[in-house]
Amino acid sequence: MLLTSERILSRVAELGEQITRDYAGRRLVIVCVLKGSFVFAADLARHIALPLRIEFLGLRSYGSGTESTGVVQITQDLTTPIRGDDVLVVEDIVDSGLTSAYLLELLATRSPNSVRLCALLHKPARAKEPVHIDYLGFTIEDAFVVGYGLDHAQNYRHLPDLMVVAEGETTRR
């Protein structure tokens, strides 16, 4: 067990309060990056006491293994423009940083008023691309984690806690 659901939820509540303070008086557009962020974004949004819109963007950066390919594919784009909006990208985990760096660059080309990044987890040991995380839940060691929305080959997303996948499991494809 890496992080219990209780511990995650209490940190998510703190992040929501911080975001509420920082964006006071503004409207927010939350971009939930599918699939891994769906649980985190749902919990976080309910702790943000501001008028907000939730948009979904599907990205795929991994196959069924555990190493970043560096190739990011958009599987589902936003359905509304974000021109002039204050955008908060909600990511499950920043690992190599390739996915978030690509996404932040892409969204910036659509002329939003601002774009910030909120990530539940950060694995600094694996960073390849420097990414500034404005709101971070937890920094973790270099291990492959599942649960709370995160998967291994599309499994385990529904687990309420965050768990580390055993070594043999991640090498078996």
Residues noted as catalytic: 95
Q: Which 48-87 residues touch ligand IMP, going by CB under 6 A? A: 61-62, 68
Q: Does 99 bind ligand IMP (CB under 6 A)?
A: yes
Minimum gap (Å) between residue 59 Cβ and ligand IMP: 7
Q: Contact region for ligand IMP (CB under 6 A) — 5-13, 46-54, 76-84, 143-151?
A: 143-151
Residue 65 in contact with residue 173, Cβ under 8 Å?
yes
Binding-site member from 44, 82, 90, 98 for ligand IMP (CB under 6 A): 98
Hey, what are 71's tokens?
A: 């190739």
Q: Contact region for ligand IMP (CB under 6 A) — 7-15, 44-52, 79-87, 98-106?
A: 98-106
Q: Does 91 bind ligand IMP (CB under 6 A)?
A: yes
Footprint of ligand IMP on this chain (CB under 6 A)? 36, 61-62, 68, 91-100, 144-146, 150-151
